[in-house]
Amino acid sequence: MKTKARPPRRRVAAQSTEATPGDQTPDRAPPDSGAQLARSLRSRTAQKQGARAEGGRRRQAPAGAAGRRESSIQRRLESNERERQRMHTLNNAFQALREVIPHVRADKKLSKIETLTLAKNYIKSLTATILTMSSGRLPGLDGPGPKLYQHYQQQQQQQQQQAAAGGVLAAAESQPAGHLHKYSTQIHSFREGS
């Protein structure tokens, strides 16, 4: 099943502080209020630390414990926010990659795994094309072409050896021309919406 471009959606966030400024993936609703989160965290923490009553009584929290708990909550909130930002920059990078990879259905957003797979094979097919052209055009001449081609062939041999050891290698991966074929096949399989 494929995921089509989606309208914004909401997430009932269990935790979080506030709307992320400059959120580039408005896929999600801004998180809950800090107050809510703090409440949630406090109750969780209470459960975890075993608000275990001893003989039906709660132990008295040591002096300063409340302050430490608050600062611990605060640190968690800040950490969550950083993590959110980190994921946003990662998603921005994915988006930038999507925009650079030619694919058939412009209206369909590539998933992350599709983006990576397509990018890998696109790079391979471009590399193969460039090397084929340059080695053909500059036989025996000084220049990057032949060296690159040699390097590429070495890489291919290594990959074949590794694959032989592992016992897996698609025929398309084993030769330059195969990359283009594999890439275009993949584009079409994605288009089919497999």
Partner DNA sequence: TAGGCCATCTGGTCCT
Partner DNA sequence: AGGACCAGATGGCCTA
Binding site for DNA (CB under 7 A): 1-4, 6-7, 9-17, 20, 23, 25, 27-28, 31, 37, 40-41, 44, 48, 75-76, 78-84, 86-88, 91, 109, 111-114, 193
- Half-sphere exposure for 1 (CA within 13 Å, toward CB): 1
Is the distance from CB of 146 to CB of 94 less than 8 angstroms?
no
Residue 65: CB minimum distance to DNA, A: 17
Q: How many other β-carbons are positioned within 10 Å of the β-carbon of residue 14?
A: 12
Closest to DNA by CB, 41 vs 118, is: 41
In the chain the first and final C-alpha atoms are separated, in Å, by: 6
Is the distance from CB of 41 to CB of 31 less than 8 angstroms?
no
Closest to DNA by CB, 116 vs 138, is: 116
Residue 71: CB minimum distance to DNA, A: 10
Closest to DNA by CB, 39 vs 147, is: 39
Closest to DNA by CB, 3 vs 162, is: 3
**Alpha carbons 25 and 112: distance in angstroms, whole number:** 14
Closest to DNA by CB, 51 vs 177, is: 51
Residue 99: CB minimum distance to DNA, A: 14
**Alpha carbons 194 and 190: distance in angstroms, whole number:** 6
Is the distance from CB of 48 to CB of 68 less than 8 angstroms?
no
For the chain, how long is the longest CA-to-CA vector? 89
Closest to DNA by CB, 26 vs 144, is: 26
Is the distance from CB of 110 to CB of 100 less than 8 angstroms?
no
Angle at 28 between CA 117 and CA 109, to 5 degrees: 30
Residue 67: CB minimum distance to DNA, A: 15
Residue 12: CB minimum distance to DNA, A: 4
Residue 189: CB minimum distance to DNA, A: 12
